[in-house]
Chain A
Amino acid sequence: MTRKAGIAVLVALLAAFPFAAGEFYVNLASQVFIFAIFAASINLLLGYGGLPSLGHASYLGVAAYASALLTLKAGLANWAAAPLALIGTTLMACFFGLIALRATGLGFLMLTLALSQVLWGTAYRWIALTEGDNGLRGINRPAPFGVSLDDASHFYYFALAVTLLALWLMARFVASPFGAALRGTRDQPRRMAALGHDVWMVRWLTFVYAGFWGAVSGLLFVYYHKYIHPISLSLANSAEGLLAVIAGGSGTLAGPVVGAAIVMILKNYVSAYVERWNMLLGFVFVAIVVFMPEGVVPGLKRLWQRSRSRA
């Protein structure tokens, strides 16, 4: 009961947020949502599959570029461009998965990194298509059911709805028998194979699924910023996502969301007050890892349980 009630209270608070907070904070929250989907999709691979991807910005960036190009250059409406961008990016994930899953562990990390660097370089160089370092601008936000999302709080609710749906579907995925098999391939790949599971196929499907949610976050990203630049495909962007997952707690549902909030608030809010916010970001990561090696969410849970058992 408490869990469901807690979630209900949380959703109610989130729904009320735009009434209480200024526009800047509403926008900041929207960015946290977008980044949370991105981090949660990395978590599917890292937390449940034991596959550290350092190239997940590929899916965010490619979906964003695809949507931007389809609307700007092909003249499609957003409702038509969005599914095409999602399908295209997911197909790319199918293909990248074939390559990246030839390795596991750090080899997998390097392969995903290399693939994403190729896309990053292409976005910089293929100026006829991507406008290179100028980036693509002039992108419009969609207007679902005739409601313009240009208003900050409208976009907030849109992002919130997509995020809740995304997190729910990802949670369902993890809780399903397939999710159990996925965790099995993380912990006991040999035994899973002996039991007749196709380990590679489990991983590949997860890879594709994670790519799909990366693409969803990319769509939201480009709608939010109305602009896309090659830097969104960069190693730094992928690394930030990975950091958010590990800092929040990989292999937990709330971890990536908390991690995403930490990273976004440090980067976009604290940086207004702390000149050396880059250094602070580094110290926060180090502190989290040293004091809560399993991440903030499991760490806090442990502290909470300890204090309860003492009382």
Chain B
Amino acid sequence: MQFWAIQTLNSLALGGLLFLLSAGFSLIFGLMRIANLTHGALFMVGAYLGATLLRWVPNLWIVALLSGLIVAAFGFLLEKFILEKLKGNVFSQVLVTLGFAYIIADFCLVTWGGDPIPIPTPPSLQQPLRVAGLAFPAFRLAVVGIAVLAAIVLYLFIERTRIGAMIRAGVDDMEMARAVGIPVRRLFSIVFCLGAGLAGAGGVIGGPIMSAYPGLDADMLPLALIVVILGGVGSLVGAFVGSFITAFVYTFGVALFPQLAYVILFLPMIFVIAFRPRGLFGKFAA
């Protein structure tokens, strides 16, 4: 009983974290049709920036916002000066993002050194929550809350605003969107910034759980890929559902089948793409 309760909470917390990681990835993927392979690196930079900023600004949520803005600004430059020049050439764009992933990872190593850097848990959330004999970290529950909040805000942004409508049009049919006069280039900029910013902020919010360490980028990128493939490219609902499915599969998988710990995340992904290439909520095959 206790096992199931705790593991369920664990899955929810990990799912929340995965959503913060992959929502931006999914939007970029859906609109621009590119797998942004810097995404893990942006998450890592966010975490490192958070660790540094927390020395001056002792509030995790504000720092997450600041860190998100800085990473978003970087994303803006990357999109404006590199990706835009390569429009129409998807492979080149993917290669460039991979190149930047190398650069960012080495930059972090030079700047912050090779040792893991902790990101302190907000003091009010440090004590585990104890209910009916169960102890569960309060911060993780807060992460679930943040993720749900972020999901609602993003959902309203996409579904209820003019820009959101244009993004949806772009995801559904780029040619048509262009034809009816939607400023597609501007949308790309906005979405790339937004996605990068979400990754940066996610790095800070995940920080108290994951810490900032070299290799965080490579640990996170495959997770983002899995979530998006599972949920469907370009769909926020898909990223949300995909995050939680991934988290449940992982958490219970490693507990019940420890032998499969390495492959547990990839088997469902193979199954999904092979039999439902667009993912659960995707509009088109990746």
Say if the two chains contact directly (CB < 8 Å).
yes
**8 Å CB contacts to A: which residues of B231-286?**
233, 259, 261-263, 266-267, 269-270, 273-275, 277, 285-286
A125 touches B262 (CB 8 A): yes
- From B35, B95, B259, give the contact of A246 (CB < 8 A): B95
Chain B residues whose CB sits within 8 angstroms of the CB of A107 once the complex forms? 229, 273, 277, 285-286
B266 touches A105 (CB 8 A): no
A290 touches B85 (CB 8 A): yes
**8 Å CB contacts to B: which residues of A233-289?**
235-236, 239, 242-243, 246-247, 250, 276, 278-279, 281-286, 289
B96 at the interface (CB under 8 A from A): yes
A118 at the interface (CB under 8 A from B): yes
B103 at the interface (CB under 8 A from A): yes
B222 touches A125 (CB 8 A): no
How many A-B contacts if CB must be within 8 Å?
117
Beyond A105-B286, A107-B277, A250-B91, whether A118 also contacts B267 by CB under 8 A is: yes
Beyond A124-B262, A278-B106, A289-B95, whether A111 also contacts B273 by CB under 8 A is: yes
- From B92, B263, B285, give the contact of A289 (CB < 8 A): B92
The SS class assigned to the A binding surface is helix
Q: How far is the CA of A120 from the CA of B285 in the complex (A)?
A: 26
Q: How far is the CA of A298 from the CA of B230 in the complex (A)?
A: 37
Chain B residues whose CB sits within 8 angstroms of the CB of A114 once the complex forms? 266, 269-270, 273
B132 at the interface (CB under 8 A from A): no
B262 touches A122 (CB 8 A): yes
A22 at the interface (CB under 8 A from B): no
- From B98, B102, B267, B285, give the contact of A105 (CB < 8 A): B285
A111 touches B98 (CB 8 A): no
Beyond A110-B225, A117-B263, whether A289 also contacts B99 by CB under 8 A is: yes
Beyond A117-B263, A235-B222, A243-B95, whether A103 also contacts B270 by CB under 8 A is: no
A109 at the interface (CB under 8 A from B): yes
Chain A residues whose CB sits within 8 angstroms of the CB of B233 once the complex forms? 106
Chain A residues whose CB sits within 8 angstroms of the CB of B136 once the complex forms? none
* B158–chain A nearest beta-carbon distance, Å: 21
A83 at the interface (CB under 8 A from B): no
Beyond A121-B263, A289-B99, whether A110 also contacts B286 by CB under 8 A is: yes
Chain A residues whose CB sits within 8 angstroms of the CB of B82 once the complex forms? 286, 290
Q: How far is the CA of A281 from the CA of B29 in the complex (A)?
A: 25
- From B91, B98, B266, B277, give the contact of A285 (CB < 8 A): B98
Q: How far is the CA of A236 from the CA of B101 in the complex (A)?
A: 12
Q: How far is the CA of A283 from the CA of B274 in the complex (A)?
A: 36
Chain B residues whose CB sits within 8 angstroms of the CB of A124 once the complex forms? 262
Q: How far is the CA of A115 from the CA of B92 in the complex (A)?
A: 24
B89 at the interface (CB under 8 A from A): yes
A102 at the interface (CB under 8 A from B): yes
A49 at the interface (CB under 8 A from B): no
**Minimal Cβ-Cβ distance residue in B for A291:** B85
B262 touches A281 (CB 8 A): no
Q: How far is the CA of A98 from the CA of B189 in the complex (A)?
A: 38
**Minimal Cβ-Cβ distance residue in B for A52:** B91
**Minimal Cβ-Cβ distance residue in B for A293:** B92
B107 at the interface (CB under 8 A from A): yes
Beyond A124-B262, A243-B95, A250-B91, whether A278 also contacts B86 by CB under 8 A is: no
* A273–chain B nearest beta-carbon distance, Å: 16
A136 at the interface (CB under 8 A from B): no
**Minimal Cβ-Cβ distance residue in B for A275:** B110
* B124–chain A nearest beta-carbon distance, Å: 39
Chain B residues whose CB sits within 8 angstroms of the CB of A283 once the complex forms? 99, 103
Beyond A110-B273, A125-B261, A283-B99, whether A278 also contacts B222 by CB under 8 A is: no
B20 at the interface (CB under 8 A from A): no
Chain B residues whose CB sits within 8 angstroms of the CB of A239 once the complex forms? 98
Q: Hey, which bits of chain B sit against chain A, CB under 8 A?
A: 29, 33, 35, 82, 85-86, 89, 91-92, 94-96, 98-103, 105-107, 110, 218, 222, 225, 229, 233, 259, 261-263, 266-267, 269-270, 273-275, 277, 285-286
Residue contacts A-B, CB under 8 angstroms, 16 given: A52-B91, A113-B222, A114-B273, A117-B263, A118-B270, A121-B263, A242-B95, A246-B92, A278-B102, A278-B106, A279-B102, A279-B103, A281-B99, A282-B103, A284-B99, A289-B86
Apart from A106-B286, A110-B225, A282-B99, what 11 extra A-B contacts exist at CB < 8 Å? Answer: A111-B274, A114-B269, A115-B270, A121-B263, A122-B262, A279-B102, A282-B102, A285-B99, A286-B103, A293-B86, A293-B92
